Structure 1
Amino acid sequence: MKAPIMPRPRIGITTSYADGKQSLDVHYVHAIEAAGGLPLIVPVFDSADAAADFTALLDGLVITGGPGITQGLIGTLPDDLEPVDPLRDQNDRRVFESMQDRPVLGICYGMQFINAQAGGTIYADVQAQKPGTLAHSSGRGGTEHPVRFEPQSRLQQILNAPEMIANTYHIQAVSDIGAGLKAVGFGPDGVVEAIESDDGRLIGVQFHPERMLDRARPLFEDFVHRARQT
């Protein structure tokens, strides 16, 4: 007798939004699919009720990268960084708040968003505001650098490594950590590269794991596994 086929957990993926159009890098979709999840693109809703109804269908949520976050900001955005569209910001908040006890993975902007939602703060331009910081944006010469993970952190256990070489695309960065969160990954310059909640439900990474599945596939596999258990 064949074992029953387990349904794929339904994973919502947020999108960028500008000028009335949504957009999404297909790498996010491929990463979730490869990990055994069913990717569902999150629309930009007109109402909070519709956002809550859609979120009720989800087993997990990925908050993707994006433009400049405006919540919890220290300083002003540099001229070469567009602010997030207010409609995306509103939509992300509604969907995130509706996830309750289900797992959420924040990537780049998504990590900063999770931190800001918990009352944390964000450097508007970390290279300008934090002396000795590396160039973390590819537009400013950044490409890859090592990320060190805190021993016994959930992320270190998931990746089964004390550190990894990660890509880097960001101008902003986490400053003060929000309530219920802890910093668990750091660049060689001390910039926060990963956070997680005390209960392990929320994980955020500043790098883009969907673009480096050769190293980061376990992160998506663990995320989808946790979503399946909700």
Structure 2
Amino acid sequence: MSKIIGIPLWTHSDVVRRQETNNSFVEKLISLNAIPLMYPQQPDDRSVDEFINRIDGLILTGGADVSTVLYKEEMSNELQETQYHRDLVEMKILKKAVEKQIPIFGVCRGLQLINVFFGGTLYQDIYSQFDNPFLHSDKNNKGYEYHHMIETKEGSILRKVLGERDYVNSIHHQAIKDLGQGLKVTAKASDKMIEGIEHESLPIFATQFHPELDKYNEKYIDIFKAFLEMIK
């Protein structure tokens, strides 16, 4: 039977308000015989509960900066667009998924949101707050370009998939500062920036890079396979 994977949508404000997602996640899941189930950016408890009851796994995708309200910091001048309503909806979904021990995979902003959920904090802007960072933002805005090497931790999901070291793409200007409770680091860039995490006891892992954009790395599909294998 196909596994149903929940993906919260985000709201794009234009002439018409739209709900969106990154189609690369949809394509990856379908290629692996999983069924993506989208959830609109609505905080209604009944709807969230119904969504949680129907999914086997949850993916939290990239996007706008996480609101500093969630980790109790004042906004820096380098903070970019935030979507507080999206934060609240996804935190509600994340809380219920954690309570049911539903496997969770976070990507980029998803990693950051997971870290904040467990009490961690973020660098609001790595280029002004992190010591000598590499370029972590794709200047060509293509997403699949390689940017830097990561080193994975022995015994981690990323070590199993990528090996000890591999190049990854990079499209972020925020990153984990203080690690959340119960989380462990599973990958770092050579500049010491955190690129992967797992939970010590719950079926949760996340990447700061973007395995859904796999034009130049065929191993990335195996990260999605590893996520689906977490679902019993």
Same fold (TM over 0.5): yes
Matched, 1:186 2:188: yes
Counterparts of 1:161-200 in structure 2, within 5 Å, are 161-199=163-201
| Cα-to-partner distance string for 1:184-221 (whole Å, 9 max, x where unaligned) | 11011000000000025110100000001612111101
Q: CA deviation at 1:225?
A: 2.1
- In the superposition, relative to structure 1, how do residues 34 and 89 fare at CA in structure 2: closer, same or farther (>3 Å)? same
| Cα-to-partner distance string for 1:6-55 (whole Å, 9 max, x where unaligned) | x1100011222233421111101011112221111122224122111111
Which blocks of at least 5 consecutive residues in structure 2 are unaligned?
none
- In the superposition, relative to structure 1, how do residues 191 and 140 fare at CA in structure 2: closer, same or farther (>3 Å)? farther
- In the superposition, relative to structure 1, how do residues 126 and 176 fare at CA in structure 2: closer, same or farther (>3 Å)? same
TM-score for the superposition, normalised by structure 2: 0.88
Q: How many residues align?
A: 220
C-alpha distance in 2 between matches for 1:199 and 1:170: 27
Matched, 1:205 2:207: yes
C-alpha distance in 1 between matches for 2:73 and 2:173: 13
| Residue in 1 that maps onto 2:106 | 106
| Residue in 1 that maps onto 2:147 | 144
| Cα-to-partner distance string for 1:78-113 (whole Å, 9 max, x where unaligned) | 557211x22211110111111121100000000000
* C-alpha contact (below 8 Å) 1:137/1:143 kept by paired residues: no
Query: Which of structures 1 and 2 has the larger relative contact order (alpha carbons within 8 angstroms, sep 6+)?
Result: 1
Which blocks of at least 5 consecutive residues in structure 1 are unaligned?
1-6
Q: CA deviation at 1:115?
A: 0.3
Q: Write the letter of the residue equivalent to 1:153.
A: S
| Residue in 2 that maps onto 1:25 | 22
C-alpha distance in 1 between matches for 2:170 and 2:158: 18
TM-score for the superposition, normalised by structure 1: 0.89
| Residue in 1 that maps onto 2:93 | 95
- In the superposition, relative to structure 1, how do residues 134 and 160 fare at CA in structure 2: closer, same or farther (>3 Å)? closer
The root-mean-square deviation of aligned C-alpha atoms, in Å, is 2.0
Indicate the SS of the match to 2:93.
Answer: helix
Which of 3, 10, 14 is matched with 1:16 structurally?
Answer: 10
C-alpha distance in 2 between matches for 1:73 and 1:103: 27
* C-alpha contact (below 8 Å) 1:144/1:166 kept by paired residues: yes
* C-alpha contact (below 8 Å) 1:78/1:124 kept by paired residues: no
